[in-house]
């Protein structure tokens, strides 16, 4: 009897210690100390190497540190022990997507959603995968599902904004971006998405304002910095007409080549129609000037930015 009591006490202590360790891991992850969190999880795994939830947690830490191959291997190990571990499926999906194995990622997402269809995180991850692979309708519908479950999800609004921007629905993109920004005003990604929406819809100065705020929030992020530089270039006088031209040509099949194509057709038609030279020449010269400007505007503004860097 005393032995049974002693065993039960030991189990209780072990369980309490594990709980404390897991809380410590969560805290370490919140403050970004991934290596320390990994060390804690490995210590727990040393005591319980077959625990799929610990393996899934370790896999998540590895993926968040950018070690996607290792994270995928660990997640698959967790799934070998428990094929219905939703967190392991989620991590396997994220790791596969990071490695470019999108079909495999989709398979893991769908398996996880079959087990837990109301997990907003899973739906959001799947929506991101659909956006990345160009399935915009599905991405939008999934984002709506996330919002139905979690209306305050800034990420879902941001994703909906990106979808609208890619479809060239400027107003919708800005509206969604604004909703994302209202829910997460201090996050760099909110300003980045809204800046992107403004830039895609003909508002380069508003875009530059938002992207400047994004850089202030996250100065080390290279993606944000590049987006700010792109918006700044669009605001420069020498490039502004080319920026608006590009917005028009992006909506036309063949893009910039339409400009040159129209030029060739115009030459052909004027020659056949016998247009007088004193009329044709100024038109041709002006059009050639426009074509050349569309070609050289970007190198010129890049040089201009080197002389007068953005503030």
Partner 1 sequence: MCPGSTSDDAARRASREIWDAPASDVDLFAPSLDERDDSEGFGTAFDPRSLWFACFFGGPVAATILFALNARRLGQPKQVVPLALGFLAVTFATLTVGTYVAMTGAGADATADASLGRNVRMGTRIVGLALGGVGYFLQRRRFELYLGEGREPAKALLPCIGVIVLSALVSLVWVSVAAVFFVVA
Q: Which residues bind partner 1 (CB under 8 A)?
A: 99-103, 106-107, 110, 113-114, 117-118, 130-135, 138, 141-142, 145, 148-149, 223, 254-257, 260
Nearer to partner 1, 175 or 263 (CB): 263
> What gap in Å lies between CA 122 and CA 134, rounded to an integer?
19
* φ/ψ (deg, to 5) at 58: -60, -40
Nearer to partner 1, 48 or 288 (CB): 288
Nearer to partner 1, 21 or 150 (CB): 150
CB of 129 to partner 1, least distance (A): 8
CB of 130 to partner 1, least distance (A): 7
> What gap in Å lies between CA 155 and CA 250, rounded to an integer?
27
CB of 222 to partner 1, least distance (A): 10
Which value, in Å, is the radius of gyration of the alpha carbons in the chain?
Answer: 27
Nearer to partner 1, 117 or 282 (CB): 117
Residue 277 burial by CB count (10 A; 0-12/13-18/19+): exposed, middle or buried?
A: exposed
Nearer to partner 1, 36 or 76 (CB): 76
Q: In which residue are the tokens 């380069």 written?
A: 204
DSSP 8-state secondary structure symbol assigned to residue 267: H
CB of 254 to partner 1, least distance (A): 7
* Chain Cα centroid distance, residue 298: 25
* φ/ψ (deg, to 5) at 142: -65, -40
CB of 149 to partner 1, least distance (A): 5
């Amino acid at each position: 009897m005393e032995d049974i009591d002693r065993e039960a006490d030991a189990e209780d202590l072990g369980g309490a210690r594990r709980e404390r360790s897991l809380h410590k891991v969560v805290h370490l992850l919140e403050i970004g100390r991934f290596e320390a969190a990994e060390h804690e999880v490995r210590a727990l795994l040393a005591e319980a190497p077959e625990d799929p939830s610990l393996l899934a947690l370790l896999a998540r830490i590895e993926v968040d540190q950018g070690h996607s191959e290792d994270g995928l291997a660990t997640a698959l190990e967790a799934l070998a022990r428990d094929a219905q571990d939703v967190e392991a499926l989620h991590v396997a999906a994220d790791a596969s997507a990071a490695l470019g194995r999108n079909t495999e990622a989709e398979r893991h997402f769908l398996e996880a959603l079959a087990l837990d269809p109301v997990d907003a995180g899973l739906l959001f991850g799947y929506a991101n995968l659909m956006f990345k692979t160009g399935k915009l309708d599905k991405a939008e519908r999934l984002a709506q599902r996330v919002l139905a479950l979690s209306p305050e999800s800034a990420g879902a609004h941001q994703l909906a904004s990106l979808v609208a921007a890619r479809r060239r629905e400027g107003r919708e993109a800005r509206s969604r971006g604004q909703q994302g920004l209202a829910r997460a005003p201090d996050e760099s990604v909110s300003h980045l998405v809204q800046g992107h929406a403004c830039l895609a819809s003909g508002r380069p100065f508003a875009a530059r304002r938002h992207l400047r705020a994004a850089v202030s929030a996250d100065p080390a992020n290279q993606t944000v910095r590049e987006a700010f530089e792109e918006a700044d270039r669009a605001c420069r006088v020498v490039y502004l007409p080319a920026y608006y031209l590009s917005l028009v040509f992006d909506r036309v099949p063949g893009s910039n080549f339409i400009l040159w194509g129209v030029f060739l057709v115009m030459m052909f038609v004027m020659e056949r129609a016998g247009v007088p030279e004193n009329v044709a020449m100024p038109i041709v010269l002006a059009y050639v000037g426009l074509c050349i400007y569309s070609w050289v505007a970007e190198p010129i503004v890049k040089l201009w930015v080197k002389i007068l860097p953005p503030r």
